[in-house]
Amino acid sequence: MATQQAEQQFSFRPGNHGRIVVLNSGSYIMAEYDEYTGLTRWQRVVSAPQREKVQKFLAEQYPVKSAPVVVKSKSRRTAAA
């Protein structure tokens, strides 16, 4: 008798600094997706087909954004004479 792994339900919540948190049905953090790099960091073991589905969904729903550019202003101090 073959056992079938139940299909897990995932939810996606925006986190801090462009991170999307992937939670399972028990509200455990499964992964974090970075919107600026497009990388998914997995915290728990997930089967390969489910992992691919989640990564595809994240890439479609949360496309990679360019990082905000910080412009440094020139120093207003004058050199000591």
Cα–Cα distance measured from residue 35 to residue 62, given in angstroms and rounded to the nearest whole number: 6
**48 found inside a domain:** yes
Give residue 28's domain range.
10-61
**43 found inside a domain:** yes
**52 found inside a domain:** yes
Q: How many domains does the chain fold into?
A: 1
Q: Six-digit token pair at 69? A: 């550019």
DSSP 38-77: --EEESS---HHHHHHHHHHHHHHSPPPPPPPPPPPPP-P
**74 found inside a domain:** no
What is the pLDDT of the chain when averaged over all its residues? 82
**81 found inside a domain:** no
Helix, coil or strand: residue 36: coil
**How long a stretch of residues is the chain?**
81
What's the pTM value of the predicted model, to 2 decimals?
A: 0.69
**4 found inside a domain:** no
- Residue 19 near residue 33 (C-beta atoms within 8 A): yes
Read off the pLDDT of residues 60-72 as tens digits, 9 standing for 90 and up: 999 988 766 666 7
**21 found inside a domain:** yes
**72 found inside a domain:** no
